[in-house]
């Protein structure tokens, strides 16, 4: 039964292409700005170290152009700050005792100083200028300044909210006022930090050359920085009227669905009309899932979609500057997802089943109404069928009975760095691959294996097509706790069929990084006529099969040799199964040949026979699947029209309870 309609319509990302030129700025001297030891302050040096180290260990940093941090010049600071403010920040390095610095800092709202604050603040502001200038000149396509202290709360005359200089405002003003020669006449500032960018708003409130867009928690004016500056009624003044857009969330817990609804219904349509020459993102990651201050829940995948939607403007001239973000894992994985988008200019497709909150539609409608006099595209009511799609639960839906918005939700685990990168240390990278990577080339095995087709037969969560698509396109679906990078070849499967095979299905191991606690599905490598297991077969290339194998086993795609090459494909047809040496540590290191379909070999991946022995002896645990995982298998079977829901549940239940 061929049934690839869904895939037909939504798999689109084309493969290949070179990296864009993406600048990264990082400088350790910025770590000299830190809070007094006893304070345990969230705005800490580890923040930029966490981001920098993930970008490096994941292999993204080496695909970027690393720029030197720069000190800011006084006259550039003076574009947005008072003389008094500038001399205050410059004086901190010569205040010679901690208690004096603390007393000075206490005069401001949420500010600390250390001896190195002067230098760090100067490097942060100077680096955002540097990034913006290089992008404006066209020397880079995009850039990300991994800097701190953050900037968007800093106002003309004083530091505030962990911010010393307003880095983004300084760079914006520099381009618009000092570098008219570079032709950047209109700048869109997107402030997605969970806090309102009050400082930036003030600095460009009357300036029509800057469209300032801030989405933030507002909570009726009680959320930091509190007061009414972040209200949607603040739309700009004089010739800047309409050029200030605030989207004030009524509460926390907003996630991907809420932000995407906002992007699609306000930011993107307005940006099309404004037609900026450059976009600067005040990229705080404190609306990320797991942030201790924000209480929102954007996933790395969500950030990649948000950023991707901005790439269509200004020829992709995007400058990101770090603002807040206080969970080290969350900010590192979010930043990683963003740099990935900057590099290839395309985010993985959305595979999200969540809807926005009812309050999100309310806020979006209020903002649209308020601004529609300036931006006619925002006029007109949103269709009922759009705003009727709401959710009480942003991420998981099946486990909650409660239908009110205010229930306390259990938030899925924060993705860890290990969940997002495939540790390079697992791979024995040889010299070939180093050279390949330096030349930014795809290793030749990829083009070779892209010409060979196989049927990849899945009996686990990949039976659910939207989940399998994550392995091809990249992405994250309901219940998954991590982002998949996808195959290097994002093209859709050439066919889908279902078949049953005489092999035993069972569940073992204690937990997975993707699904959390509970066993995962395995297929007994040996056939047994008493058994009948449903498998969904996807016709993909041998290159894609390797990428699925790599991802299933938690490895990096940048490998110089395939795990399973054409020779292995020959051999397996007589040997029946092949243990893939490189992935001994993975759980699916055994590729099993299940016969031919047409003249194309059918392959699956599972554990080895010796693992089966260990499951039987009790050395490795046998475990039933967790609820989300089981639900994924069940919906896979139901959506694939193989079993009814009852039959599918019974089928999974039997496989997880019958002794091996
Ligand atoms: C940049 C930023 C937050 C300040 C919170 C003060 N500042 N309670 O995220
Ligand atoms: Zn913030």
DSSP-derived secondary structure for 125-189: HHHHHHHHHHHHHTS-SEEEE--SS--TT--SS--BTTBSS-HHHHHHHIIIII-GGGT---EEE
Q: What is the mean pLDDT of residues 241-249?
A: 98
Mean pLDDT, to the nearest integer, of 45-61?
94
- Tens digits of per-residue pLDDT, 116-137? 999 999 999 999 999 999 999 9
Does residue 163's CB lie within 6 angstroms of at least one atom of ligand 1? yes
Protein residue whose Cα sits closest to atom 9 of ligand 1: 324
Residue 10 has pLDDT above 50, yes or no: no
**Ligand 1 pocket, 479 CB below 6 A?**
no
Query: Which ligand is closest in space to the CA of residue 322?
Result: 1
What pLDDT is stored for residue 177 in this prediction? 98
- Residue 415 Cβ inside 6 Å of ligand 1? The answer reads no
How far, in Å, from the CA of 193 to the mean position of ligand 2?
Answer: 5
Residue nearest to atom 4 of ligand 1 (CA): 161
What pLDDT sits at residue 399? 28
Ligand at minimal distance from the CA of 195 is: 2
Residue in 35, 42, 43, 47 to alter for ligand 1 test, most ligand atoms within 8 A of Cβ: 43
Q: Measured from the CB, is residue 225 less than 6 Å from ligand 1?
A: no
pLDDT of 441 over the 70 cut: no
76 lines ligand 1 (CB under 6 A): no
More confident residue, 427 or 443: 443
| pLDDT number for residue 352 | 61
Q: Please give the DSSP secondary-structure letter assigned to residue 64.
A: S
Our answer on whether the CB atom of 323 is closer than 6 Å to any ligand 1 atom is yes
CA of 380 to the centre of ligand 1 (A): 36
pLDDT for the residue 540: 97
Residue 162 CB less than 6 A away from ligand 1: yes
Tens digits of residue pLDDT in 66-92? 999 999 999 999 999 999 999 999 999
Predicted confidence at residue 587, as pLDDT, reads 84
Ligand 1 contact via 193 beta carbon (within 6 Å): yes
| Ligand nearest to the backbone CA of 150 | 1
**Ligand 1 mutation pick, 198, 224, 282, 326, max ligand atoms within 8 A of CB:** 224
Residue nearest to atom 5 of ligand 1 (CA): 161
Q: Which residue has the tokens 């449903």?
A: 534
Taking the centre of ligand 1 as the mean of its atom positions, its distance from the CA of residue 225, in whole angstroms, is 8
pLDDT band (50, 70, 90) for residue 582: low
What are the φ/ψ torsions at residue 455 (nearest 5 degrees)? -95, 120
Q: Is the pLDDT of residue 428 over 70?
A: no
Which of 253-262, 574-583, 621-630, 639-648 is the least confident region?
Answer: 574-583
What percent of the chain lies above the pLDDT cut of 70?
Answer: 87
Distance 221 CA to ligand 1 centre (A): 15
List the catalytic residue out of 33, 152, 153, 301: 153
Calpha distance 465→618 (Å, rounded):
33
Report which listed range, 226-235, 342-351, 489-498, is most confident.
Answer: 226-235
Top mutation candidate among 33, 159, 163 for ligand 1, by most atoms within 8 Å of CB: 163
pLDDT at residue 484, as a whole number = 75
pTM of the model: 0.66
Burial of 108 (0-12, 13-18, 19+ CB in 10 A): middle
Q: Tell the residue number behind the tokens 């869904």, with chain if given.
A: 6
| Rounded Cα–Cα distance for residues 132 and 318 (Å) | 8
Residue 195 Cβ < 6 Å to ligand 1: yes
Instruction: Out of 110, 222, 327, give the residue to mutate to test ligand 1, the one with the largest number of ligand atoms within 8 Å of its CB.
Output: 110
From the DSSP assignment, how many helices (H) and strands (E) are in the chain?
Answer: 23, 18
**Nearest residue to 659 (alpha-carbon basis) of 510, 504, 512:** 504
Atom of ligand 1 minimally distant from the CA of 110: 6
Least confident residue range of 314-323, 439-448, 544-553, 628-637: 439-448
What would the pLDDT profile of 485-513 be if each residue is shown by its tens digit?
Answer: 788 888 899 999 999 999 999 999 888 77
Tell me if 159 CB under 6 Å of ligand 1: no
Ligand 2 center from residue 565 Cα (angstroms): 48
Task: State which ligand 1 atom lies nearest to the alpha carbon of 195.
Answer: 9
Q: Which atom of ligand 1 lies closest to the CA of 293?
A: 5
The ligand that comes nearest to the alpha carbon of residue 287 is 2
Distance 324 CA to ligand 1 centre (A): 7
Asked whether the predicted pLDDT for residue 104 surpasses 60, the reply is: yes
Residues forming beta bridges with residue 454, ordered by sequence position = 540
Percent of the chain with pLDDT over 90: 73
CA of 95 relative to ligand 1 center, distance in Å: 24
| DSSP-assigned letters across all residues of 273-297 | HH--SEEEEEE--TTBTT-TTT--B
Whether the pLDDT of residue 413 is over 50: the answer is: no
Residue 264 carries which DSSP code?
I
Give, using CA atoms, the residue closest to atom 2 of ligand 1. Answer: 324
What tens digit of pLDDT does each residue of 350-398 get? 556 678 999 999 999 999 999 999 999 999 999 998 898 886 533 332 2
Q: Assess contact for 217 and 294: CB atoms under 8 A.
A: yes
pLDDT at 510: 86
295/194 Cα distance (integer angstroms): 9
Q: Is 150 in the pocket of ligand 1 (CB under 6 A)?
A: yes
- Write the residue with the smallest CA distance to atom 6 of ligand 1: 161
User: Is the minimum distance from the CB of 286 to ligand 1 under 6 angstroms?
Assistant: yes
Give catalytic status of residue 153 as yes or no. yes
How does residue 560 score in pLDDT terms, banded at 50, 70 and 90? confident
Strand partners, 25: 67, 145
Mean pLDDT over the full length of the chain: 87
Question: Which residues have a Cβ under 8 Å from the Cβ of 586 and sit 6 or more positions away?
Answer: 552, 553, 554, 555
């Amino acid at each position: 039964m061929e049934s690839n309609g869904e895939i037909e319509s939504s798999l689109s990302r084309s493969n290949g292409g070179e990296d864009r030129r993406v600048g990264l700025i990082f400088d350790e001297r910025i770590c000299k700005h830190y809070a007094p030891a006893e304070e345990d302050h969230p705005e800490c040096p580890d923040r930029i170290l966490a981001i920098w180290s993930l970008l490096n260990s994941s292999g993204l940093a080496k695909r970027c152009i690393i720029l030197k941090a720069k000190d800011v010049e006084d006259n550039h600071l003076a574009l947005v700050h008072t003389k008094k403010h500038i001399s205050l920040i410059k004086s901190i390095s010569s205040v010679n005792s901690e208690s004096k610095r603390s007393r000075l800092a206490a005069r401001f709202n949420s500010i600390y100083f250390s001896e190195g604050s002067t230098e760090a603040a100067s490097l942060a502001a100077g680096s955002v200028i540097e990034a913006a200038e290089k992008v404006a000149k066209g020397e880079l396509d995009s850039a990300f300044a991994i800097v701190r202290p953050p900037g968007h709360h800093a106002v003309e005359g004083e530091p505030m909210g962990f911010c010393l200089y307003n880095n983004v405002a300084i760079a914006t003003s520099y381009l618009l006022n000092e570098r008219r020669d570079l032709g950047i006449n209109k700048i869109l500032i997107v402030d997605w930090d969970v806090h309102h960018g009050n400082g930036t708003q003030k600095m460009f409130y009357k300036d029509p050359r800057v469209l300032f867009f801030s989405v933030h928690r507002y909570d009726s004016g009680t959320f930091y920085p509190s007061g009414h500056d972040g209200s949607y009624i603040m739309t700009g003044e004089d010739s800047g009227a309409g050029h200030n857009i605030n989207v004030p969330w009524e509460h926390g817990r907003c996630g991907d669905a809420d932000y995407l609804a906002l992007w699609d219904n306000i930011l993107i349509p307005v940006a099309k009309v404004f037609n900026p020459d450059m976009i600067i993102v005040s990229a705080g990651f404190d609306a990320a899932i797991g942030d201790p201050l924000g209480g929102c829940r954007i996933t790395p995948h969500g950030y990649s979609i948000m950023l991707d939607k901005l790439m269509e403007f200004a020829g992709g001239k995007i400058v990101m500057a770090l603002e807040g973000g206080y969970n080290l894992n969350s900010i590192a994985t979010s930043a990683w997802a963003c740099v990935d988008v900057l590099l290839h200019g395309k985010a993985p497709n959305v595979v999200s089943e969540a809807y926005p909150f009812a309050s999100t539609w309310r806020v979006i409608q209020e903002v649209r109404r308020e601004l529609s006099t300036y931006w006619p595209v925002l006029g007109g009511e949103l269709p009922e069928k759009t705003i009727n799609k709401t959710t009480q639960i942003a991420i998981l839906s099946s486990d909650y009975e409660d239908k009110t918005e205010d229930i306390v939700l259990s938030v899925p685990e924060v993705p860890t760095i290990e969940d997002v990168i495939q540790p390079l240390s697992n791979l024995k990278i040889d010299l070939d691959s180093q050279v390949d990577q330096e030349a930014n080339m795809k290793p030749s095995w990829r083009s070779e294996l892209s010409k060979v087709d196989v049927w990849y037969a899945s009996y686990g969560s990949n039976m659910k097509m939207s989940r399998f698509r994550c392995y091809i396109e990249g992405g994250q679906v309901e219940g998954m706790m991590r982002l998949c990078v996808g195959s290097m070849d994002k093209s859709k499967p050439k066919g889908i069929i279902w078949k049953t095979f005489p092999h035993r299905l069972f569940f073992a191991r204690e937990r997975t990084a993707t699904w959390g606690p509970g066993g995962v599905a395995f297929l007994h490598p040996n056939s047994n006529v008493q058994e009948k297991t449903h498998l969904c077969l996807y016709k993909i290339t041998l290159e894609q099969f390797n990428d699925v194998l790599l991802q299933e086993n938690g490895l990096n795609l940048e490998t110089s040799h395939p795990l399973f090459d054409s020779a292995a494909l020959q051999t397996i047809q007589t040997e029946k199964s092949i243990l893939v040496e490189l992935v001994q540590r993975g759980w699916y290191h055994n590729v099993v040949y299940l016969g031919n379909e047409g003249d194309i070999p059918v392959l699956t991946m599972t554990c080895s026979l010796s693992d089966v022995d260990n499951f039987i002896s009790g050395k490795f645990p046998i475990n039933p699947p967790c609820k989300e995982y089981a639900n994924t298998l069940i919906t896979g079977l139901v959506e694939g029209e193989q079993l009814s829901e009852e039959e599918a549940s019974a089928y999974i239940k039997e496989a997880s309870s019958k002794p091996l």
